[in-house]
Amino acid sequence: MEAKTDKTDEVAEIARTLELNPTPGRFSGWKRWRVITLLLLAVLIAVTVTFCSKKDKSGAVRYETQEVQRGNLTVVVTATGTLQPTNSVEVGSELSGTIRTVEVDYNDRVKVGQVLARLDTSKLEATITQYRAALEAEKAKVLQAEATVAETKAKLAQYKRVWELSKGKVPSQTEMDAAEAAFARAQGNAANCRAAVSQAKATLSASETDLSKSIIRSPINGIVLTRSVEPGQTVAASMTTPVLFKLAEDLTQMELHVNVDEADVGKIREGQEAAFTVDAYPDRTFKAQVVQARYGSTTVEGVVTYETVLKVDNADLSLRPGMTATASITVNRVENAVLLPNNALRFTPPVQEETKPSGGLVSMILPRPPSSKSTVREDAAANKKQQRVWTLKEDKLLAIPVTVGATDGVMTEMLKGDLKPGMAVVIDSVAGGK
């Protein structure tokens, strides 16, 4: 009986705790099942919390690392451009006319003075003949004018002798003045005729010059790149000179004109070495050297670039004008340096949550305010040279400040810092559950 009484007291105590009425009645069975349901719910929550805590432990953050290295670093600036001859000349015609012959073709080598093409000169030759006849006529007029000068001069001299012998009596003053005027007019007419001869000579010379220009010659030693004329074609020279040929002086020495971005142009210096490739030879690398970084800028769709000229040796003539090239200009070399992976400089520790002791079953059931979080995220340093990398010490992150220098986009030179080659630095974090 005593044991039964103790059990009854225990049930009554539980009922009072859960604020249930132990008095038997119509709803006593329902209340009993309510108690059992609450107990089962509490057990289920406890099991779930335990399972989640184990899962959280298995999903701990893991870190990927990479070793610090010692080696050489090469910094390059990449740009694209086109190959061009060192000197190219466009040859045209100053005269209008019909092309009679074309004496060179594409890729022909030419020398200075070599005939490239000839114009039909029939009309020019007729014009020159006409101007020569006009010149002869003007020369004849000069002879007539000189004869008149001699005649008037002799008459004036005769008048003067008679005037002296007659002691001023004859001829009269009027006759003397007329003779002097005639002599002066004869001299003026002779000078005018001589000027007409000079003018006729100049006109003839201009026509002969035009005749010489009807033969189009090469101004340089080089090679024919383009030919824009055929025999029988009419050339019309008006305000602009029509281009008939384009010549390149020496294709064994060429230039590569590349467009360097405004962010990189400050690194470009004359004499820097470069290498480039072209689509025609994908497996071959050509050497070049910077000879000029021009100050004039070009803006295309908001992108500002500066033209840079590189000297190229093309002794085997494998490169051709107009080829598109991708060049890598070496702007800096660092030897025997401590190198950090760029991923380590970009790594930022993830946000971690603080863990607090459990509040028991009641705290699991009842809602509570969200727990506060503490972050270890650091703001980026104002000075880009002063950065920090992270290492692992006893599975915990440890920040190490470093001073960095040149970079090639993959590795960065370390100028100052407590890191040695072979030390592992963190480059990324991976959730343990993944």
Secondary structure, 3-state, the chain = CHHHHHHHHHHHHHHHHCCCCCCCCCCHHHHHHHHHHHHHHHHHHHHHHHHHHHHHHHCCEEEEEEECEEEEEEEEEEEEEEEEECCEEEEECCCCEEEEEECCCCCCEECCCCEEEEECCHHHHHHHHHHHHHHHHHHHHHHHHHHHHHHHHHHHHHHHHHHHHCCCCCCCHHHHHHHHHHHHHHHHHHHHHHHHHHHHHHHHHHHHHHHHHCEEECCCCEEEEEECCCCCCEECCCCCCCEEEEEECCCCEEEEEEEEECCCHHHCCCCCEEEEEECCEEEEEEEEEEEEEEEEEEEECCEEEEEEEEEEECCCCCCCCCCEEEEEEEEEEEEEEEEEEHHHHHCCCCCEECCCCCCHHHHHHCCCCCCCEECCCCCCCCCCCEEEEEEEECCEEEEEEEEEEEECCCEEEEEEECCCCCCEEEEEEEECCC
pLDDT for 381:
41
Question: What is residue 366's predicted lDDT score, i.e. its pLDDT?
Answer: 47
Please state, in angstroms and rounded to a whole number, the distance separating the CA atoms of residues 30 and 20. Answer: 11
Q: What is residue 386's predicted lDDT score, i.e. its pLDDT?
A: 82
What the block records as the tokens of 394 is 């006893």
Chain CA centroid to CA 58, Å: 53
Cβ-Cβ contacts under 8 Å for 76 (sequence gap 6 or more):
328, 329, 330, 331, 408
The reported pLDDT for the residue numbered 189 is: 95
Mode of pairing for the β-strands spanning 411-417 and 424-431: unpaired
Six-digit token string for 18: 């859960």
- Residue ranges for the chain with pLDDT beneath 50: 1-5, 7, 11, 18, 20, 22, 26-27, 54-58, 353-362, 364-367, 370-382
Q: Hey, what are 172's tokens?
A: 């009269």
pLDDT in the model for residue 12: 55
Nearby residues of 191 by Cβ (< 8 Å), 6 or more positions away: none
